[in-house]
Each structure stands twice: as structure tokens, then as C-alpha cells.
Structure 1
């Protein structure tokens, strides 16, 4: 699942927002998440974000029997400089569940600002229904990414 957004701001402005722990917690709260903690560690050649969020989701009936609608998501996002922009990868685990979301993203200059793109994949190690779980998780992840990026746009 791929999501891409053009921002009317430069790479540095968007990078500063997307790596600001206070902004990330504020964004989570604004999007209705129940709890969020964020730590950002800056190294010489990369920036690492560790974000833990508690979210409540409406679940389809086939998942409601297996999953609690309140989930704790743990994300690690690693940003690396790439020319005039940034690229990186992310991993999201669902606490207590055999589900892992992985992604690759980039933040690149554009004619009028910059463009952020992310692609997600999901692996759910659940016999018989793993494919259905992966499809649902990817749809939720895509919707969530669009909402998060719309919040960024609203702050420009």
C-alpha cells in the first residue's frame, strides 16, 4: 500500500515536524489515539524515532473474536539523509499479536515544496485468516497514514 503527499513547504520544514516528538504526540492526540509516547534519538548518520501508541479501532466481526479493539502499536522509524532529502524505513508491531507492518519512505524536494511517500507491507502469522488480517491492517495503515499527513498539512 502506497501513500504520497505533496507539501507546499520545503524538505527541512517537513522533516522538522515529522521528527519532533512533541508534534508527533500532539498529532496522535488530535487523531483520537488514547495514549502516545515518543522518543527521538539523533545520530551522526540517522535519526531514530520510537513511538508507542494505544489506539482503538472498529474491527470486522472475523477479527473481533481474535483481537481486542484497543491495541498498543510500537513503531520504530529510521531516517537517513539522501541527497537533498531523506529516506528511511519503519517497523510497527502490534503488542501481543503476530502482526508486523514494515515500510519504506522518502521525503524529497519538489518544484513547489516537497513530496513524502511511504509504502507499507504487512505480515500476519495467523493460520487460515492471515491474508484477511493483512488486508485489513494495510487498509487501516493506509487510512492512518493519510490522516497523519493531512494533519501535517493542516499545520503549515
Structure 2
């Protein structure tokens, strides 16, 4: 298992920032701007009032050669986010990411809290591989890839608001 711990200070209103994660037009534009293709998206309320965001998309992969041979240049990623929270925050998201072709998955939590005129996003995620032979490499790659993609996603959202 590989732990990913990330934190960002965002110069945007917490409610506007968090609502962007379940605004269909915004999410589709964000994924496309970040290089995804073949995007499908479903957004709707869950049983407890949370917003459930289910996406599937193909993303470019910049993997080490041994993994690149297995997963190729593109990977289909299945992602489910469950967002909850009230106006003014904090907001919480349970997230699960499963890339097709890579014997690994990630589960974690995102917390967004108000911070002055902006907000702070904290992400704690675990990448887990199911195949012992390539496990450590796949987990490290997935952890680094999640970090890189979350960096780009947060930067894109902050710049777009």
C-alpha cells in the first residue's frame, strides 16, 4: 500500500469551489482540458443527500516501461466520488479510482475547509495493488499519477472560477 497525502490552499470561495466537482458542464470541460477522452459522466443525489459523481474516461499514461507494456499509452479510469457538506463547509468526499489494465486501485478521502477568503483541500488516499510481482511499482506509479493529476485538477479549477 502506498499512502498519498496532499494539501492545497485555494483562493476561491469554498462553496463555489466544491460545487464545481458536481457541475456536469464544468467536470466535462475539466476532464477534456486535462487531456481525457471518451468521457462518460453521471451526477446525481445519493440516498443521504450527498452528490455522487461517477465518471469513466480514458487518460494518457506516462508509466515506467514495464508498466507501459501492460497498460499502454491510454488507460480507462473508473472513478466514483461521494460529496457531502453544507454551505460554508466543511465538505467531504469519499473517492475510489480504478484504472483498467493496472492491477491497482485507490481509495481515499478529500476534506475541504474554509480558510479566510479561500479554502484548503486535503486529500488522503491509499493506492493498493493486487499483484505481488509488480505491486510496489504499480502502487508507486499510481500514487505519483494521482498526485500529478490532482495537482492539475486543482490548478485548473482554481484558474477557472
The answer, yes or no, to whether TM exceeds 0.5 is yes
- Kindly indicate whether residue 99 of structure 2 is the aligned counterpart of residue 119 of structure 1: no
Deviation, structure 1 residue 95: 2.3
1:30 corresponds in structure 2 to 33
2:18 corresponds in structure 1 to 15
Count of residue pairs brought into register by the alignment: 156
In the superposition, the TM-score normalised over structure 2's length comes to 0.89
Of the structure 1 ranges 39-48 and 12-21, higher mean CA displacement relative to structure 2 is found in: 39-48
Dislocated runs of 4+, deviation >4 Å: none
Provide the C-alpha distance between the structure 1 equivalents of 2:90 and 2:148, rounded to a whole number of angstroms: 25
Q: Residues 36-59 of structure 1, C-alpha deviation per residue, up to 9 Å, x if partnerless? A: 121111245311100111012122
- Kindly indicate whether residue 61 of structure 2 is the aligned counterpart of residue 57 of structure 1: yes
1:45–1:81 Cα contact (<8 Å) kept: no
Aligned-pair RMSD on alpha carbons? 1.6
1:29–1:35 Cα contact (<8 Å) kept: no
Of the structure 1 ranges 61-70 and 11-20, higher mean CA displacement relative to structure 2 is found in: 61-70
2:14–2:112 Cα contact (<8 Å) kept: yes
Unaligned runs of 5+ in 1: none
1:2–1:120 Cα contact (<8 Å) kept: yes
